[in-house]
A and B are shown apart, each in its own frame.
Chain A
Amino acid sequence: MAYDAHFRVWRGDVEGGGLVDFTVPVNEGEVVLDVLHRIQATQAGDLAVRWNCKAGKCGSCSAEINGRPRLLCMTRMNLFAESDVVTLTPLRAFPVIRDLVTNVSFNYEKAKQLPAFAPKPREADGTYRMAQVDVERGQEFRKCIECFLCQNVCHVIRDHEANKEVFAGPRFFIRYAELDMHPLDTNDRKRMAQEQAGLGMCNITKCCTEVCPEGIHITDNAIIPMKERVVDTKYDPLVWLGNKIFRRNGIERPSAEG
């Protein structure tokens, strides 16, 4: 089933650029990244693209394929008809460096701002004991491969440059949620997510969930429950009263780092 495919790849840098046409052979079972590598090896040695594992595990090769954010290594060529034009463009939410490579440092800066994991002390026998069912809630979010596709499609980030200052984005909301559900963490992640990461600015359009290559239920399992819990603890007068009378797990100790 080998055939010649028509690729259009955005080439350029911060100064500007445009789509360049390539005709390139495709073999059975290949993914878009294979075809890009063939272009590199035979037609454009300096075509810039990030990649590492080529197995959907590292999240390096994020780009937009026919306008849809995807991993280049997990997009099979049989998704397209032989006559289709396959158009590849860089992630739109981040500044381009060159060709398909963008500057994703926004995400690494946000990671630095996230208060560190702060575990409670070990049990008397020196162990930490946690039930499987309790670690599984957090494990869903720790599947994240940091491809930043969710960040790329998030309207709050994509459409308003100024928001980047105060808004961490879905990748970090699942990190807050994971820590909030972590059986050992002692910080008040709900308040942090609201006050430091801009959780309130998310208007739950679920675009992030739709593009997640790991199938993480970002909106339903992380963002919405976090928002609900923030509301619970911040505004609910009964909770407020309860906090005055009993000490509620997770908020009895304001964070030192926060």
Chain B
Amino acid sequence: MADMERHSYDVVVIGAGGAGLRAAIEAHAQGARTAIVCKSLLGKAHTVMAEGGIAAAMGNVWSEDNWRVHFRDTMRGGKMLNNWRMAQLHAQEAPDRVWELEEWGALFDRTKDGLISQRDFGGHRYARLAHVGDRTGLEMIRTLQQHAVSLGIDVFMECTITRLLKGGNQISGAFGYWRESGRFICFTAPAVILATGGIGKSYKVTSNSWEYTGDGHALALHAGAALLNMEFVQFHPTGMVWPLSVKGLLVTESVRGDGGVLRNSEGKRFMFDYIPAFFAKETADNEAEADRWYDDKAGNRRPPELLPRDEVARAINSEVKAGRGSPHGGVFLDIASRRSAEYIRKRLPSMYHQFKELADVDITAEPMEIGPTCHYVMGGVEVDPDTEMSGVQGLYAAGEVAGGMHGANRLGGNSLSDLLVFGRRAGLAAAQYATKLGTDRPSVADHDVVTASRAALAPFEEEGGENPYTVQMELQETMNSLVGIIRTADEMTQALAKITELKERIRHLTVEGHRQYNPGWHLALDISNMLRVSECVARAALERQESRGGHTRDDFPTAEPEWGKVNVVLREVDDEITVSRQPLLVIPADLAELLAEQPEEKKS
């Protein structure tokens, strides 16, 4: 291993989406020698696909808004399973993180007074999302990317980390390979921040890109950290359903925030039939009130199309099952009959373009066909809410890979703000941790590097083994059909059996060609992560015998108060996944008060 490329840093950030870039910027600002390592080119991470906006209670459009209302919306949207401290920090700090982006060059849409405009989204009491048309994620990643580049932070692009390295219970570095050359690379660093995003590529119908193979989740587990809430997977209500080529591709919630409604094949606005008791007091029960709400929030309740995503996705699923779906197995999302063509093109340019180019549908003239698509995992690495450090010293997680913040269901718009708030906090804490260690840093053990490199090369050694693409397809089918929106113990047991079979089969993978830019090889290495997180999702989902947020059991259809007090926690022990239950943190009384059904409005 003497000829291996080696680098030494204070902080290594894995992932270059919103959380990774924000973490690196902060670590750099603290004076830490910082590197970003990412699987794709800089600026291509999944954040780029976020559309609607960044939730932050700035109060630019509704002065009644403040962090307490945002905190309440977030906790209620998450069915009270959120880590309250994370939800509090998130609501308090999100506005500063948005204003900071403006200082770094972001050009948000404006209000008439010239302030940052804010739009309506599901589950948010007030119009709260800072946005740029429907391409907010692109604006955010470009702003962070350009800022990070201007600071001169080192970026290792198209470089995949396959193993975290430890000395005792402390992080000592990370091992990986360059996608371009296939050569190995080893980082020595006392602090590693996981900002690797989610797990959606384990599902067949997903809005997620190829990078979403659960790398960070699997790396953390293997290093000894715990995952929590992995049963909570968000199916975004509105993905494209036709043509098949784009099935799952995201249709932004802004369509509904800006006035779009859902209809079934009979033309009925069916969401009025699906208002749960939990949200009844804040949801309009007739079309006239729902339509008035867009302009008069004080005197009217929110349209049911803007219920949290889990509620809307289940409703769509039920309509389709009842035979009231659209020709291609979805329902209709209609904004054409409710807003002018000019308004739609101005507010939703990407959606207009996407449907026109990929489906020959003009959304200013006809309804879209949409259905649920795997979008986000609420579960992730268990971290300290203030520092984002996991149970492993020196290992941090921020963004989608971290768990706790969103409870059982994430509100739209709370992801981009999550990335910024906790990306910054992780960068800050990691830099301070590295400083505190001084020169007393754990070293990288040679034999760990040898083991990691052998594991990475294994798929080249066997001939006549499995094709990794085949295994991936079978896994995606399995998760989609057996651990999807509606779950039963039977189906999840079948899924686990299939996962066990696939785990055995990937011990004998064969890839063709050589190490240079070889997607077959890259997949062969990613697939073990995909299987690992799929197993975690299925195991946790089987454990939680109730329905809550992004976890719906046909055999346990209601939310149970007892289950509302525990998290399901997963660990890797001797290569096996163990499942346990862990009590939730108790919410302090002053915050608990805010969660009542009709809270008193307080000014911050």
Contacts and interface: CB of A to CB of B under 8 A. Distances in A.
Q: Do A and B bind each other?
A: yes
B209 A45 contact: no
Contact of B245 (A34, A59, A97, A185): A34
A127 B115 contact: yes
Contact of B44 (A52, A98, A101, A128): A52
Interface string A37-55: 0001110111111111111
Nearest to B245: A30
B151 to A, nearest CB: 8
Interface stretch (B397-405, B510-518, B532-540): B510-518
Nearest to A133: B110
Contacts of B244: 27-30
22 contacts: A29-B245, A29-B246, A30-B245, A31-B245, A45-B467, A45-B469, A45-B519, A47-B519, A48-B516, A52-B46, A52-B209, A53-B48, A55-B246, A57-B49, A57-B350, A60-B40, A98-B516, A112-B149, A112-B152, A132-B117, A182-B105, A184-B102
A129 B517 contact: no
Contacts of B468: 45
A246 interface: no
Interface of A: 13, 27-31, 34, 40-42, 44-60, 74, 76, 97-99, 101, 103-104, 108, 111-112, 116-117, 119, 127-132, 135, 138-139, 142-146, 179, 182, 184-185
Given A29-B246, A45-B467, A52-B44, A129 B519 contact: no
Question: Chain A: interface secondary structure?
Answer: loop
B511 A58 contact: no
Interface string B467-501: 11110010000000000000000000000000000
Interface in B196-246: 209-211, 242-246
A144 B44 CA distance: 12
Contact of B358 (A31, A139, A144): A31
Contacts of A103: 180
A117 B517 contact: no
Contact of B107 (A44, A52, A58, A142): A142
Given A30-B243, A111-B149, A143-B135, A132 B519 contact: no
B557 interface: no
Q: Which 6 A-B pairs have CB atoms at the shortest separation, nearest pair first?
A: A29-B243, A45-B520, A46-B513, A129-B114, A116-B150, A117-B105
A51 B209 CA distance: 9
Contact of B49 (A53, A98, A182): A53
Given A45-B512, A57-B49, A74 B358 contact: yes
B107 A51 contact: no
A195 B59 CA distance: 43
B146 A54 contact: no
B110 A130 contact: yes
A182 B107 contact: yes
- Most chain A C-beta atoms within 10 Å of own C-beta, residue among B41, B246, B359: B41
A31 B242 CA distance: 13
Contacts of B249: 54-55
Contacts of B150: 116-117
Given A34-B245, A98-B517, A51 B210 contact: yes
Nearest to A31: B245
B519 A48 contact: yes
A48 B518 contact: yes
Contact of A59 (B44, B117, B132, B513): B44
A112 B517 CA distance: 25
Contacts of B357: 56, 74, 76
Given A27-B244, A41-B473, A104-B41, A57 B48 contact: yes
Nearest to B115: A127
- Most chain A C-beta atoms within 10 Å of own C-beta, residue among B46, B109, B353: B353
Given A48-B517, A135-B110, 13 more contacts: A13-B516, A29-B243, A52-B44, A53-B46, A56-B354, A58-B43, A97-B180, A101-B180, A104-B41, A127-B114, A132-B109, A143-B138, A184-B105
Interface string B318-359: 000000000000000000000000000000001001100111
Contacts of A28: 243-244
Given A29-B242, A58-B44, A119 B105 contact: yes
- Most chain B C-beta atoms within 10 Å of own C-beta, residue among A42, A49, A98: A98
Contact of A142 (B104, B132, B354, B473): B132
Interface in B25-56: 40-46, 48-49
Contact of B104 (A30, A104, A108, A117): A117
Nearest to B208: A53
A53 B350 CA distance: 14
Contacts of A184: 102, 105
A34 to B, nearest CB: 5
B472 to A, nearest CB: 8
Nearest to B250: A55
B108 interface: yes
A196 B342 CA distance: 40
A46 B209 contact: no
B142 interface: yes
B215 to A, nearest CB: 15
Contacts of B440: none
A117 B146 contact: yes
A45 B527 CA distance: 14
A139 B518 contact: no
- Most chain B C-beta atoms within 10 Å of own C-beta, residue among A28, A74, A131, A135: A135
Contacts of B110: 130-132, 135
B113 interface: yes
Interface string B450-478: 00000000000000000111100100000
B521 interface: yes
Nearest to B468: A45
Interface in B247-300: 249-250
A27 B242 CA distance: 12
A35 to B, nearest CB: 10
A128 B130 CA distance: 14
B371 to A, nearest CB: 15
A57 B138 contact: yes
A117 B264 CA distance: 49
A138 B102 CA distance: 13
B133 to A, nearest CB: 8
A111 B243 contact: no
B401 to A, nearest CB: 17
Contact of B135 (A34, A57, A101): A57
Contacts of B350: 57
B108 A60 contact: no
B49 A138 contact: no
A55 B354 contact: yes
Contact of B519 (A29, A30, A49): A49
Nearest to A141: B107
B40 A142 contact: no
Interface string B103-137: 11101111001110100000000000000110100
B311 interface: no
A46 B133 CA distance: 38
Contacts of B107: 130, 135, 138-139, 142, 182
B65 interface: no
A32 B45 CA distance: 22
Contacts of A97: 180, 516-517
B142 A52 contact: no
B41 A60 contact: yes
B139 interface: yes
Contacts of B245: 27, 29-31, 34
B135 A52 contact: no
